[in-house]
Amino acid sequence: METTYPSAQSEGSRTGSQLLQVEGLTVRFGGVTALEDVSFGVRQGEICALIGPNGAGKTTAFNAISRFVRPAAGTIDFDGTRLTDRRAADLIGLGISRTFQNLALWPALSVIENVMVGAHGGGGASFVAQMVGAARRSERDLRARAYAALELFGLGEIAFDPCSGLPYGTLKQIELARAIVSRPRLLMLDEPAAGLNHGEVRELGETMRRLRDEEGITILLVEHHMALVMDVSDYVVALDFGRGLVEGTPAAVQADERLIEAYLGGSAS
């Protein structure tokens, strides 16, 4: 098919209003250009997947949106707010929450304490300080919300157990519970299916749908698990070598030769 980006776009069933808009995003790490002039949008109420081979720049895009890295160029807007003018600490208050590619839980804290941390976001050593401060301010409310988030995953029974020693699939669910305790409008998930078994992946897909349909949460999903991506996504954006490659409905993107080429080329080199 002779199509050039972005003419392969099929906005198809995309109906929601624009919630997140990334425009001309460029990120460099020294001499490495991780993202070059990347643009894409996420609509209110959809599950939008960001896919691409290893090193394509997916996590870097997440890090730019959540203000962990400073772009060399480009703008990121969320519901009328220019995120590129804001700090990482503002994100939770604006209604954006994320998980990390590698688990970022505190093993010594209880399950519910780990979830409570999510209400105030932040990162690094300030996590615990923020949690303690927040807990003093509205301990009961926060605990109730954290418990409710855990119950969404059927984890109420282990709320007061320490995180250490729990199975990996459970830890991933706790991380998800933590990401939604702040009641985000946009939830950004970086490889939530990694390391999960078949049944857990199916459960994750159902959870994402429930979060979208019942909680009204818009989801931006980075994922290598193609069956999951094609199953749950309303829209797919593919990157390759830091550039936008193709975007459209799951069916359109899946059938696009450029995507197939990008994955085959990547695994062969």
Q: Interface with ligand ATP by CB under 6 A: which residues? A: 29, 32, 34, 52, 54-60, 101
Which residue has tokens 């615990």? Answer: 128
**Chain centroid to CA 86: how far?**
19
Least CB distance from residue 141 to ligand ATP, whole Å? 35
Distance between start and end Cα atoms, the chain: 25
> Quick one: 155 or 220, whose CB is closer to Mg ion?
220
> Quick one: 21 or 33, whose CB is closer to ligand ATP?
33
3 state SS of 198: helix
Among ligand ATP, Mg ion, none, what binds residue 4 when CB lies within 5 to 8 Å by partner kind?
A: none
Question: Does 59 help bind Mg ion (rule: CB under 5 A)?
Answer: yes
> Quick one: 106 or 241, whose CB is closer to ligand ATP?
241
Least CB distance from residue 8 to ligand ATP, whole Å? 21
Among ligand ATP, Mg ion, none, what binds residue 267 when CB lies within 5 to 8 Å by partner kind?
A: none
To which H or E segment does residue 190 belong? Answer: strand 186-190
Among Mg ion, ligand ATP, none, what binds residue 32 when CB lies within 5 to 8 Å by partner kind?
A: ligand ATP
Among ligand ATP, Mg ion, none, what binds residue 109 when CB lies within 5 to 8 Å by partner kind?
A: none
CA distances, 212 to each of 2, 32, 88, 128, 216 (Å): 35, 36, 24, 30, 5
d(CA 115, CA 137): 16
Least CB distance from residue 192 to Mg ion, whole Å? 12
DSSP label at 53?
Answer: S
Among 147, 155, 154, 145, smallest CA distance to 184 is for 145
Among Mg ion, ligand ATP, none, what binds residue 34 when CB lies within 5 to 8 Å by partner kind?
A: ligand ATP
Contact footprint for Mg ion (CB under 5 A): 58-59, 101
